[in-house]
Amino acid sequence: MRGQHTPGWALCLAVALALGGILARTGIASASDGAPSKSSALAKELAQQLDQAKLEHIAARDPEDPTRFIGAMYFPGLQLITVSGKYSVPVLINEKLLNHNYKDVYIDLSSASERASRITVEDLRADGLPTARLKDGPADSFDQGGTSLVFDFDWKKAKLSQDEYLKKITAADEQYAKLLTLLLAEVKKVGTATK
């Protein structure tokens, strides 16, 4: 029997290769073909700036809307939680910003900002929102007005089509990048003022 080959292994190999080709063509294999994360470099830079300034909180005003503010809490090397929302009495938040009471701004936005306007981003590695499934670790999340999007790339669990899910992922990443840009500008001002 040594000279005879059974067709089993060859058949399995052919099926595996064919299935791999089908999955690759339909885009089911992974979402990694998407655009790179816009928030990734910004989140890493913000974490670095916060480390250098020895800050655990940062906050800023949205220049496009005087009633909207952004605050972030940073756990060095671990996590960045960002909250944005409209605040009914902006003068109170403005005063806290002027006094660099970033922790108070973050707390106020987390608890008392208008729920419908609130955005909360849980960036669990302080490295931006992924645009493809990660191999390990917990999934980041993006909550806007009470609607959550978990970055686990399980669109069926989210009750969305793959295309709808990926569009939401891209939009959330773009929104997070805008928030990070405003926070980065603020932390750089603080860093300049202390030098």
Q: Give residue-wise pLDDT tens across range 105-158.
A: 999 999 989 999 999 999 999 999 999 888 888 899 999 998 999 999 999 999
Q: Is residue 41 one of the residues assigned to a domain?
A: yes
Split at pLDDT 50, 70, 90, the class of 17 is very low
Is the pLDDT at 19 greater than 50? The verdict is: no
Q: Residue 127 domain-assigned?
A: yes
Asked if pLDDT for residue 43 goes beyond 70, the answer is yes
- Asked whether residue 22 is domain-assigned, the answer is no
Domain that holds residue 129: 37-194
Flag whether 109 is in a domain: yes
- Give a yes or no: residue 30 inside a domain: no
Q: Is 95 inside any structural domain?
A: yes
Rounded to an integer, the average pLDDT of 161-183 is: 97
What's the rounded mean pLDDT across residues 42-50?
Answer: 96
- Rounded-to-integer distance, Cα 180 and Cα 175, Å: 9
The answer to whether residue 24 sits within a structural domain is no
- Total domains in the chain come to 1
- Hey, what long-range contacts does 61-69 have (CB within 8 A, 24 or more apart)? 61/93, 61/94, 61/97, 61/182, 62/182, 63/182, 66/90, 68/117, 69/93, 69/97, 69/105, 69/109, 69/113
Does residue 11 fall inside a structural domain? no
Q: With a cut of 50, say whether residue 11 has pLDDT above it.
A: no
Whether the pTM exceeds 0.85: the reply is no
